[in-house]
Structure 1
């Protein structure tokens, strides 16, 4: 018989954009009156899917919509998906930071969570005091916490600062201690969000090793949200793929990652039709077109090269405007990070601009890629950031009689000089 440690049934979470509550007294009264009569909340029937790439018409958004899954004790489950898919919202519901709008969450055992940097720690208290506070919240006795104390401090590497208020810690120190506390205190379920990205590479490896021990060695349940597919493969045995607030796929880790990679390569061209005001962006910048197409031929492959085109509308005159293109693999490895200076302060006008460049042939290896896009003001202020607006797949080209994909992110073609003596 399955030993279920976590069960999520028909869970949804609705938010009203820009407002606390429903926004009007009449709406609040309608909601209260419906609840008194045992009726369904009337505002649960409206709202839109949480798709940030399109402009919505409703003030109500479903951050999560009808989520259902079960997790067995001892499972290590990776939750993956694009930014805005609902991953962090789901973890907050499971950690009881916020409550679902509809549905039920059944938990067997205690939960230790590591969500955003700073969650669960009191900034005025020392590291030592916060360890005991977190243990007490989990229901542990002072004696039980003392037994784990030295192990927590040793793992975190912040022994010198353990009696210093945590508000004076760097973000890296904060995460080190927070992870050590969450992983070592005696909880049945460990929930970890993307915050491990704050730590250095050595500490991230240490954390993954500890989570692996927690899951396989101690039989505790681990939920891990990450954009690092290598880490997800290493730690997790099962995966959940989320998209626009819903579960798109559940299965073995490798199959879930494969579905994510296919999704990341399906939108190689974004073109907005209509007025600039309704395009993707904000009051500073609106993106009208962003595309990655073959520089030659019909197919996007290793030998075609990639023509990149960005067309946007600028609303702020007389600033030094630049845009940065960061190309990443779907497991979040940065391939390159390059920028283009648009105009200086004197020459930048309100209006439409186009930036084009070509990634030469025989540079990128076969695989799936996506762009992060940033617009900057005076090299000090971020005007707009866009993740996953476009992604693309580079198809393989056989080398000689070999048809398999060679390892590596790049596959350059060299002119070899060979001398025989």
Structure 2
């Protein structure tokens, strides 16, 4: 069943007591107790260590809830300290949750650190058996898969050589080959696909895609958004131990990237920004990205700009100009509005730009209002450089951008190449 739930997390919390716990002798405990009743400093405390109040706790996870269905590949993303590794430990039952429940429907295998348990003095073949056993495989399972593991690792020529003589690339290839042959319904991975050269990385991702196609469920933790895009069909974003997003891959990545630059903005006081040259006959006072709570757009949406403007006098033949630039500040294209007129004083203006030709990527803009005159040419009234950023992501119903990404294909989708009939 495609809708079969393989993993269910219900309101899970994980608390840790701050400070050093245990690991001391009875003598040290008595010394601390004697110092405490005399209101003296702890004589066993390490120099520079922080003092914690009694019972002070830290919540690594706080009310986490989600479901994972059979055949789904979930990208678990978030900053360091967000709670990703803690969540994996709870799922693998390395530690127990403080509160909440975790339901598992099938065997769980983890690929959290490739090469764990490898011994330099043992041969590659011997390490396959030892590492496989550590990862939970039986000798019978390894016997059945040994040839496939060796073939995948690309180190057959050296399989009976001690791994201490392997290069680092050979080592991680063999380690991943073992881990990728785990037979479990739920597979947990933590930054394990960034191994070997580019060709082998592609091979690893294709192998994981085969695992997903076979009906297995994957939870993949990574800071590499490109591998998240290539492998996963959904994302979960963690921040400070809480789930802040669940759903579409591109939208989840956009949420994660917005955490890097602070709270995403859609409302701007343009009077506080630096304005470039211009006559200032028409000035930009404020701007709102209409209909948005964060600057993320599907590629079948319109970018709607709501301006508040101030004009010193009545103006005819005014045009809006927007230069769209990439993250690297390279121009992707320029859009002009049709000519319009503006009355003296304050006025509101709504403009719309169709994003259908822009490839999924992150963009910034230069915006300006220009005045076209009959005799003296065109003058810039007001111009602001990079007042806001926005991100374009692929719509779930769109098939136009299946083979496009800005960093690889260029940022503007050109017209289709026609197929002509034979002469």
| Residue number in structure 1 paired with 2:329 | 364
Could you report, residue by residue, the CA deviation over 1:331-355 in whole angstroms, capped at 9, with x for unpaired residues? Answer: xxxxxxxxxxxxxxxxxxxxxxxxx
Cα separation, 2, equivalents of 1:362 and 1:191: 33
Paired with 1:95 and 1:160, the residues of 2 have a C-alpha distance of 35
Please give the residue correspondences for 1:185-200 in structure 2 after superposition, counting only pairs within 5 Å. Answer: 185-200=182-197
Q: Counterpart of 1:397?
A: 366
Residue deviations 1:240-274 (CA, integer Å, cap 9, x gap): 00111111111121221222233333269xxxxxx
Report the Cα distance in structure 2 between the residues aligned to 1:224 and 1:78, rounded to whole angstroms: 5
Superimposed CA distance per residue, residues 84-115 of structure 1 (whole angstroms, 9 cap, x where no aligned partner):
21212222322333333333322222222221
Q: Which has the larger radius of gyration?
A: 2
Separation in structure 1 between the aligned mates of residue 75 and residue 8 of structure 2, nearest angstrom: 16
* Partners of 2:115 and 2:131 within 8 A in 1: no
Determine the C-alpha separation between the residues in 1 that align with 2:12 and 2:391.
43
Deviation at 1:125, TM superposition (A): 4.6
Residue of structure 2 in register with 1:87 after alignment: 84
**Structure 1: 5+ residue stretches without partners:** 29-54, 269-292, 299-360, 368-392, 412-421
SS in 2 for 1:210: helix
Alignment of 1:73-84 (within 5 A): 73-84=70-81
Q: Partners in 1 of 2:140 and 2:16 — Cα distance?
A: 42
Give the aligned CA root-mean-square deviation in angstroms.
4.3
Residue 218 (structure 2) aligns with: 222
| Matched residue, 1:15 | 16
**1:2-41 equivalent positions in 2, closer than 5 A:** 2-21=3-22
Looking at structure 2, the residues matched to 398 and 296 of structure 1 have their Cα atoms a distance apart, in angstroms, of 10
CA–CA distance in structure 2, aligned partners of residues 362 and 190 of structure 1: 35
The 8 Å contact of residues 19 and 52 in structure 2, kept in 1 or not, is answered as: no
Q: Structure 1 residues 180 and 118 mapped into 2: Cα distance closer, same or farther (>3 Å)?
A: closer
Aligned twin of 1:261: 257
Aligned position for 2:155: 158
- Correspondences of 1:1-400 after superposition (within 5 Å): 2-21=3-22, 60-119=57-116, 121=118, 125-136=122-133, 140-166=137-163, 169-216=166-213, 218-266=214-262, 364-365=329-330, 395-397=364-366
For residues 166 and 99 of structure 1, what CA distance do their matches in structure 2 show?
A: 36
> Following the alignment from structure 1 to structure 2, what is the Cα–Cα distance between the partners of residues 17 and 170?
41
Ranges in structure 2 where 5+ consecutive residues have no aligned partner: 30-49, 265-271, 278-325, 333-361, 371-389, 393-404, 411-423
Q: Kindly indicate whether the alpha-carbon contact (under 8 Å) linking 1:238 and 1:253 is maintained by their aligned counterparts in 2.
A: yes
The number of residue pairs the alignment matches comes to: 272
For 2:299, the equivalent position in structure 1 comes to none
Shift of 1:201: 1.8
Question: Quick check: 1:79–1:240 contact (8 Å CA) kept in 2?
Answer: yes
- Aligned pair in 2 of structure 1 residues 146, 242: CA closer, same or farther (>3 Å)? same
Match of 1:388 in 2: none
Three-state SS of the structure 2 residue aligned to 1:203 is helix
Cα distance in 2 between the residues matched to 1:140 and 1:404: 44
1:278: which partner in 2? none
Distance 1:71-1:395 versus aligned 2 partners, 3 A rule: same
Shift of 1:74: 1.1
- Give the conservation status (yes or no) of the 8 Å contact 2:115–2:176: no
Whole-angstrom distance in 2 between the partners of 1:256 and 1:207? 23
The answer to whether the 8 A contact 1:16-1:22 is kept is no
- CA shift, 1:11, in A, is 2.3
CA offsets 1:197-245 (integer angstroms, 9 cap, x no match)? 34322221111111111102x1111111112222111111111001111
Cα separation, 2, equivalents of 1:262 and 1:213: 32
Q: 1:365 touches 1:396 (CA, 8 Å); kept in 2?
A: no
**Counterpart of 2:244 in 1: which secondary structure?**
strand
Which digits, 9 at most, give the CA deviation of each residue in 1:143-193, with x for residues without a partner?
332221111111112334434455665543343222211221322222211
Give secondary structure in 1 for the equivalent of 2:365. Answer: coil
Tell me the distance in 2 between the aligned counterparts of 1:5 and 1:404.
Answer: 33
Q: Matches of 2:144 and 2:327 in 1, distance apart?
A: 58
Rounded to whole Å, the distance in 2 between the matches of 1:77 and 1:365 is: 33
